[in-house]
Homo-oligomer: A and B are copies of this chain.
Amino acid sequence: MMARARKGLTERHQKIIDFLNERIRVQGYPPSIREIGEAIGVSSTSVVTYYLKQLTEMGLIERDARASRALRLSNPLGQDTVKIPILGPIAAGLPMLVPEAGVTYIGDDLDAVDVARSILPAREKSDGLFALKVKGDSMIDAMINDGDIVIMKPVVSASNGEMVAIWLPNRDETTLKYFYKEGQKYRLQPANPTMKAIMIDKDEPLEIKGKVIMVIRKVSRTI
């Protein structure tokens, strides 16, 4: 049984997906069954239906029955953007910084930034990302300016060298620093080489809230 294992996408499948992406991008609407057939070198509409059914079952496309061109890609390429909620200004100590898991913040008119998926680090899951608007110059040591938007990924631990938002309960302070674990201490390294690192003892409480994956600055006649 199972003459052909789930080899994922055959060449035909890939050609269909590519064609759909192309047509939707340049024409703004999906092609018809017959147009697909022509594009992939198949003369019968039933063969196209056959493959579309498979692609639907694989979850790559979605179809609405019995309507023409009623099909969409589950993961369209190109122009797509991700809406990242701005959870609040970073300054007063990151109140309620970590979003509850599973909750969608893409609600209605909360502040949010649209970011083209293509400028996010490769295949960043983009779920759960959140953004903070930097208030004040307190982050200037991290090359981050007043008004900048930092895009963060919620994490609770970090690898050496990542820039993370760190909550220091003892100092009642949140700061963006490069994070290094060094023996019995944590070294929190500012990005600006002229400033010196903060050393934190391992038994001092320290909570990592997220890591910075991107900074966006709109320049509008500051200073």
Interface residues of A (CB under 8 A from B): 24, 27-30, 32, 62, 64, 67-73, 76, 78-81, 113-116, 118-119, 121, 140, 143-145, 159, 161-163, 178, 189, 191-192, 211-223
Contact = CB atoms under 8 A, between A and B. Distances in A.
Contact of A221 (B81, B162, B223): B162
Contact of A30 (B28, B78, B163, B212): B28
B68 A27 contact: no
Contact of A119 (B64, B161, B218): B218
Copies of the protein in its oligomer: 2
A24 B115 CA distance: 20
Contact of A143 (B70, B71, B116, B145): B145
A67 B29 CA distance: 11
Given A221-B161, A221-B162, A68 B71 contact: no
Contacts of A161: 221-223
A162 B76 CA distance: 38
Contacts of A113: 116, 118-119
A143 to B, nearest CB: 5
A145 B80 contact: no
Contacts of A115: 116, 119
A115 B116 CA distance: 6
B116 A81 contact: yes
A71 B223 contact: no
A218 B217 CA distance: 12
Contacts of A30: 28-29
B223 A219 contact: no
